[in-house]
Chains A and B, each alone.
Chain A
Amino acid sequence: MLNKIVVAVQKSDFDLNTELETLKLKTEKAGAVVIFVGKVRDLDDDNLRYLEIESFEDLAKSQIKEICDDAANKWGLESILVKHRFGRLKINDNIVLVITSSKHRKNAYEASEFIMEYLKSNVPFWKKEVADKTQKWVENS
Chain B
Amino acid sequence: MPSPTRVIHKRIYEVVPRDLERAGTVSTEVRRELLALGMSPDIVRRASIICFEGEMNMVLYSAGGRIILLVRDDRVELLFSDRGPGIADIDLASQPGYSTAPDWARELGFGAGLGISNMEQNSDLFKIRSRVGEGTVVRATVLLGIPFF
Q: Do A and B bind each other?
A: no
A residues in contact (CB < 8 Å) with B: none
B residues in contact (CB < 8 Å) with A: none
